[in-house]
Amino acid sequence: MALRRTRKKTADKSTYHHGDLRQALLDASLALITEEGFGALSLREVARRAGVTHAAPYRHFADKEALLAAVAEEGFRAMTSRMKEEMAREPSPIDRLGACGVAYVLFAVENAAHFRVMFGPHFTQPLTPTVLGEDADAYGLLVGVLAEAQRAGEVREGDTADLALACWSLVHGLASLLVDGQLDPEAVAGGVAALARTQTLLLVGGLARPPVD
Amino acid sequence: MALRRTRKKTADKSTYHHGDLRQALLDASLALITEEGFGALSLREVARRAGVTHAAPYRHFADKEALLAAVAEEGFRAMTSRMKEEMAREPSPIDRLGACGVAYVLFAVENAAHFRVMFGPHFTQPLTPTVLGEDADAYGLLVGVLAEAQRAGEVREGDTADLALACWSLVHGLASLLVDGQLDPEAVAGGVAALARTQTLLLVGGLARPPVD
DNA sequence: CCTACCGATCGGTAGG
DNA sequence: CCTACCGATCGGTAGG
């Protein structure tokens, strides 16, 4: 899988059959959700797909929720990384804001299973950026670039938190509608990337500071 | 429950224990999702809560998906109805647009179980407005008021479908974040209604046609 | 990381 | 709408 990290090879294969069972379990979870839907996710089936018996996962995860939390954390890191990449290409703050939003939507569509786990109502204790660390703080990234765009005079003044929530809501809503298949196929005909750009620009355009003539 | 329809009383209680088992099953499904989460929903537990044996629901629903489809349909009707109510209070098209968005978010938060079923990835065949009828066409309502606002010169020109999707994405995203508990409690401290108004107005403000001086 | 085992739940059907 | 029954899966643990 694209998101797999480098494997940590272990010498003693006789007692540790996988190079990295933990990672194999995360990958198997995503494949299972992608192929059979979230409802089909069980620790036993995940173990089966990873090629181990159903007791093995408990060596790495206390329970199902712990496994899901690990999947979500991996997802937040990957999404944040993706956003940073796309933003790095843009010279102006407002363009970085747009790139940030497009990256959010594209990550969701290309990693639907991750996205579902990240934002589903699965966790007893919320997965705050504080818990996950700054490598996974996608929201912080958004707030940062938005504030920067305001300081540069490219985005209208106003409560940054309010504006950030509007941005987040728009891209999260579009991503959710796409991931959950709620959009008329006709609307998506031109491609998800184009759609994400159009929508993001609509909001960013609405937020842009009217040029002072 | 607020959404229960009038019960159809049956004379022959000996063979038909409930006045309306079908509706009782829908209500029980929502209560179960609300209290135990979506993962806890099973036909057997729903039957238990409705006070019948686990074979009884099959008299009304072919399977779990059919029950969920009925819940979703009820939800779409209720949401559409709620939107119409709120819109009827506003005299101008652009205010009706705002009221429409606020109603969407409030419905979602006040009927989280319904909302989850309506937009979850549960259905083999999509629940299109065409299938559900115009009483349940919330999206059609949005497109209608948006087009009206454009004709009245209160909203900028542009592809109505694009603008409608931006509106839908924003309110759907905000609703999803709220329903899934992703928002910082601090952000919601002022109340969901106020938050929904702020956010909706931000977008509507962005879409508004700049006054021609 | 495996084998063996526990109690519990589930979807669905036969037959009345 | 009920009783009785089917095969199957699940989460979790003991013990090695």
Q: Are B140 and B129 in contact (CB under 8 A)?
A: yes
Pick the closest to residue B23 from B41, B44, B49, B42 (CA basis).
B49
Residue B118 to residue B70: CA distance in whole angstroms: 10
Q: What is the mean pLDDT of residues B141-152?
A: 95
* Number of C-beta neighbours around residue B6 at 10 A: 8
pLDDT digits (tens, 9 = 90+) for B63-84: 999 999 999 999 999 999 999 9
Whether the CB of A139 is below 8 Å from some CB of chain B: the reply is no
Q: Are B181 and A121 in contact (CB under 8 A)?
A: yes
The predicted pLDDT at position A123 comes to: 80
Q: pTM value? A: 0.90
* Number of C-beta neighbours around residue A160 at 10 A: 16
Residue A128 makes CB contacts below 8 A (sequence gap 6+) with none
- CA angle, residues A142, B103, B176, in degrees to nearest 5: 40
CA atoms within 13 A on the CB side of B22: 14
Q: What is the mean pLDDT of residues B36-44?
A: 92
Q: What is the mean pLDDT of residues B9-33?
A: 71
Residue B72 to residue B115: CA distance in whole angstroms: 8
CB contact under 8 A, B206 and A205: yes
The predicted pLDDT at position A14 comes to: 34
Whether any strand C atom is under 7 angstroms from the Cβ of A42: the reply reads no
The predicted pLDDT at position B18 comes to: 56
Lowest-confidence region among A59-63, A180-184, B131-135: B131-135
Whether the CB of B62 is below 8 Å from some CB of chain A: the reply is no
Pick the closest to residue A195 from B142, B172, B162 (CA basis).
B162
CB contact under 8 A, B168 and A176: no
CB contact under 8 A, A180 and B121: yes
Which tokens in the block code for residue A141? Answer: 């990234």
Q: Tell me phi and psi for residue B10, to 5 degrees.
A: -115, 140
Probe site for chain A from B172, B184, B213 (most A CB atoms < 10 A): B172
Q: Tell me phi and psi for residue A208, to 5 degrees.
A: -60, 145
Q: What is the mean pLDDT of residues B24-43?
A: 94
Percent of chain A clearing pLDDT 90 (strictly above):
70
Is the pLDDT at A193 greater than 80? The verdict is yes
Over chain A, what is the mean pLDDT?
87
pLDDT digits (tens, 9 = 90+) for B133-144: 889 999 999 999
Probe site for chain B from A41, A156, A172 (most B CB atoms < 10 A): A172
Q: What is the mean pLDDT of residues B100-114?
A: 97
Lowest-confidence region among A133-137, B111-115, B126-130: B126-130
* Number of C-beta neighbours around residue A2 at 10 A: 6
